[in-house]
Structure 1
């Protein structure tokens, strides 16, 4: 009888060690510094609040079941807090403002989330420039539930205002829209365009995020069909479309098959009202390679 109990205990220990060995969950650390920076767009220069001096802010990348620690240091003039869209579990201290000159570390435990999430400042004036992608890859040993892409690329649809936004200012109608921080050639101010290089016959996972606060955005790539494989931090049954409509805060994971003639094709993003739009460019090359 005793030997049977020992065997059961030994088996339990082996199973637990096996779980630890193959679960592959990690702790992932990021450092965010809230700071003001100058940007020149729409033929003018203004100061905006950023994370690490970039617009959009830095991308977070982790695997399912990981725990992500994001230490936010506020070097700006106003108190700010960060919201984590698509994270299922509550985050301690998420509602507390980070005062100037202080820091706070968010602990984000990933569970069933998969695909594309995003983060942003809670206050409307800061959210316009303080936001970024949050990519959750399959856990170690798991595969994508669709053909493995050559590479993946977050694409954040944003907005730009001519006025400087500070605490107490409620943003109105945007003066322009952006793709990964680029206005494109639409506005006539020599602003740069977002450019994506693809290999002919390559397969690309595009992670589209609508970070525009109060506008439904329409996204398309000229002469290309888009395959939707996920939305709002979960994978979904595949569907096909020539254009995508994203509600404010929505994310979509799409597959782009680079199967057109080698050349350049426009990416377009516009509000559903159609008042303004922005453009990017896809450049084809003639070779392809596997996802590393």
Structure 2
């Protein structure tokens, strides 16, 4: 009898929480324009398919329980559809191609998803450049189940190909990448002086929620920050039991949320990302802005 009562109280509490979240939910509208854009990396310029002219694409940032409408205008040369990794409910039109010159609006109703998801083109050639983060913060009346971060930072591990991934009316499945990127930056390891390097700025003793997305097709990626460790707090749109590590190994399409405490000697430290196969490596910089007392 006691266990049944406890179960009823637990279910009642969960139902109340869901009602409370839904009562404070918002509706968000995003406009995505698929278009060809010129980008220069590895000392050469090429045309790539982008969303709103950026690589990676725009970040969606909402709260738990919100509803999101994303109107996708295909101004490119090929039919494309988008996949919403980690969204639990079904999404109308997710299996249909958006033809050039047309548009389609995705309706995404969030339920229990929390933390970081991401979106990308369904075809491998387009997914190499058409992808972005989908960040779901706690609802207005919710707290994090871990110490509240000073700030958060999204990091998308990507890849870059020198070859064109489209030729005429044909599309080419990407092979091995010529470089890897952190938020679109190849870093300083590929020998091109014009390449840019990602930089994350932190304050001493700040606590940062870092959202790491592996958008690299068919490659497991290893991510680390020199002299710093991570506390894993979430994966693939859900909170997890906390665990500790000095590096992250992310399978293709995997997302991991970690806490990083900026509490080592003030300076700058390399952020590194590499495929587990060991081919190539890209780097960024973690830079302290304030000094320790």
Alignment correspondent of 1:58: 58
Q: Which runs of 4+ in 1 moved over 2 A?
A: 19-23
Work out the number of aligned pairs and report it: 271
Change (3 A) 1:139 1:162: same
Aligned pair partner of 1:251 in 251, 255, 266: 255
Q: Does 1:202 align with 2:206?
A: yes
Alignment correspondent of 1:41: 41
State the alpha-carbon separation in 1 of the partners of residues 267 and 205 from structure 2. Answer: 13
Given that 1:23 and 1:139 are in contact with CA atoms closer than 8 Å, whether structure 2 keeps it comes out as no
What does 1:90-101 correspond to in 2, within 5 Å? 90-101=90-101
Given that 1:262 and 1:284 are in contact with CA atoms closer than 8 Å, whether structure 2 keeps it comes out as yes
Alignment correspondent of 1:285: 289
Alignment correspondent of 1:227: 231
Alpha-carbon offset, residue 168 of structure 1: 2.3
State the alpha-carbon separation in 2 of the partners of residues 42 and 179 from structure 1. Answer: 14
Alignment correspondent of 1:273: 277
Structure 1: unaligned runs, 5 residues or longer: 1-15
State the alpha-carbon separation in 2 of the partners of residues 208 and 20 from structure 1. Answer: 29
Q: Of the two, which has the highest radius of gyration? A: 1
Given that 2:266 and 2:291 are in contact with CA atoms closer than 8 Å, whether structure 1 keeps it comes out as no
Structure 2: unaligned runs, 5 residues or longer: 1-15
State the alpha-carbon separation in 2 of the partners of residues 168 and 21 from structure 1. Answer: 44
SS at match of 2:83: strand
TM-score by length of 2: 0.90
CA shift digits 1:126-170 (9 cap, x unpaired): 000000000011112000111110111110000000011124211
State the alpha-carbon separation in 1 of the partners of residues 177 and 36 from structure 2. Answer: 20
Change (3 A) 1:22 1:56: closer
Change (3 A) 1:96 1:188: same
CA shift digits 1:104-146 (9 cap, x unpaired): 0000000010000000000111000000000011112000111
Given that 2:22 and 2:65 are in contact with CA atoms closer than 8 Å, whether structure 1 keeps it comes out as no
Change (3 A) 1:252 1:21: closer
TM-score by length of 1: 0.91
Give the root-mean-square deviation of aligned CA atoms: 1.5
Alignment correspondent of 1:3: none
